[in-house]
Amino acid sequence: MSVMVRMKLQEGKLAPDFSLEDKDGKRWTLGKLQHDFYVIYFYPKDSTPGCTIEANEFNVLEKEFTKINCKVIGISGGNSASKEKFCSNNNLHILLLSDSDHRVGKAYGVYGEKQFMGKKFEGYHRVTFVLDKNLTIVTVYGAVKAAGHAAQVLAFVKGLKK
């Protein structure tokens, strides 16, 4: 899969606030949360192989992120029903939000043209942002490989706590 996303947001910049629904239809607003750090990871699609690997790995490490007051938020398209099915089928407890109109993905610069097997289409790129408590971007992981990514991000955030 080729990555053609143009990163709009850079380290040191303020991340866009957003308000999106979870699998139960509950609305979550980034600016109203109170944590020391946030991991916002964008993923292509619920219930696909790579996205399932990534979600499961963040899910396994959720308690470790919580210990350092870091909230993990996964965002992709779909709706509450697709999120509920994805969470139910994989016993996921992490917060997954639906960006069905792609507004947040576009604001973060992670929704755009992709190419797979010679076909071009619009979709979410696998990109992760780490934010501090002021919603300032600390680092951006672009062109993420799903396997091992959650542990990599956890190690980075733990390093920020020192």
Instruction: State which residues form the domain around 95.
Output: 2-161
Which helix (H) or strand (E) segment holds residue 159: the answer is helix 149-161
Assigned token pair, 11? 């380290």
Query: Integer distance in angstroms from the first to the last C-alpha of the chain?
Result: 37
Considering all CA atoms of the chain, what is the largest pairwise distance in Å, rounded to the nearest integer? Answer: 46
Q: Is 102 exposed, middle or buried (0-12, 13-18, 19+ CB in 10 A)?
A: middle
Per-residue pLDDT at 103: 96
As a 3-state breakdown, the chain gives helix, strand, coil percent values, each rounded to 5, of 30, 30, 40
Instruction: Identify whether 51 is a catalytic site residue.
Output: yes
Q: Which of 15, 30, 40, 51 is catalytic?
A: 51
Which helix (H) or strand (E) segment holds residue 63: the answer is helix 62-67
The dihedral sign for the CA sequence 107, 29, 51, 62 = positive
Kindly give the confidence (pLDDT) of every residue in the chain, 162 residues in length, as a single tens digit, with 9 standing for 90 and above.
334 445 567 888 999 999 999 999 999 999 999 999 999 999 999 999 999 999 999 999 999 999 999 999 999 999 999 999 999 999 999 999 999 999 999 999 999 888 878 889 899 999 999 999 999 999 999 889 999 999 999 999 999 976
| Number of domains within the chain | 1
* Residue 21's CATH number: 3.40.30.10
Mode of pairing for the β-strands spanning 37-42 and 27-29: unpaired
